Amino acid sequence: MWALWTWLLSFFFILALLLILGFQLVCLVDLEYDYINPYDSASRINRVVLPEFITQAVLCFVLLVTGHWVAFLLSLPYLYYNVRQYMQGKHLVDVTEIYSQLNQEKNKRFFKMGYLIIKKPDLAAENARDLIGVGQMAKSSTNQSRCCNNLRLDLPRTLPLVSLQRRCRSSHGGATSRHSARRNRKRDRRSWQERRRERQRERFDERMRTQMA
């Protein structure tokens, strides 16, 4: 679930950055073709520079907290450039030098947009791997729950069968024990009869010997 929310947040942040950069490019193109005066163009661009920097910083923070290290490392150069421009006081467009820096400002925005577009598939691939892992975990959990439900449904049906098998085994075991007991009794009777016959023979032999003597 966190992977899905991270992907959605990063998608909307990157989309917001692209919209801000696109707005700045439109202002510069309008200034190039004399559709707008330099003061209005510079004020409109400077109005959205700080939101761009804040959005990029929040995106880096979200990637760092959620553990997307590859996307975070790819976002660091962009964040470093923004922080450096802000610390040097070069993040705002000067009204008096906007015409001389028009191509430079346009190339800067084009480079930022290209960097975001190139970075977006890497972030999408990383989030897709996380989503695939979450989907597999969810699938395994659903399979386990289905197996448990099937076992619960089949348990009342299998209980009589198990009890019947146990009864059959117990009855079979009792029959075999009775049969072995009868066999032992017969064996004892045979041994007793044989001993009796031997004794009778011994007595008969003794009588014959006494009569012969």
With respect to residue 178, please indicate whether it lies within any of the assigned structural domains. no
Residue type, 50: L
| Residue 123 and residue 68 in contact, taking contact as beta carbons nearer than 8 Å | yes
Question: What pLDDT score was predicted for residue 45?
Answer: 95
* In-domain check, residue 212: no
What type of residue sits at position 16?
A
User: Is 16 within a domain?
Assistant: yes
Structural domain harbouring 113 = 2-149
Return the pLDDT at 199. Answer: 80
Would residue 185 count as lying in a domain? no
The answer as to whether 182 is a domain residue is no
Q: What is the DSSP letter of 193?
A: H
User: For position 6, what pLDDT does the model report?
Assistant: 80
As for how many domains the chain has, the answer is 1
Structure tokens at 73: 């490392």
pTM of the model: 0.59
- The DSSP secondary structure of 48-98, one letter per residue, reads THHHHHHHHHHHHHHHHHHT-HHHHHHHHHHHHHHHHHHHHT-SSPPSTTT
pLDDT tens string, the chain, 213 residues long: the values are 677 788 888 889 999 999 999 999 999 999 988 889 999 999 999 999 999 999 999 999 998 988 888 888 988 999 999 999 999 988 899 998 888 889 999 999 999 999 988 876 666 555 555 555 545 555 555 655 565 555 454 444 444 444 545 555 555 455 556 667 677 777 777 777 787 788 888 887 887 877 776
Q: Would you say residue 9 lies in a domain? A: yes
Whether 29 is in a domain gets the answer yes
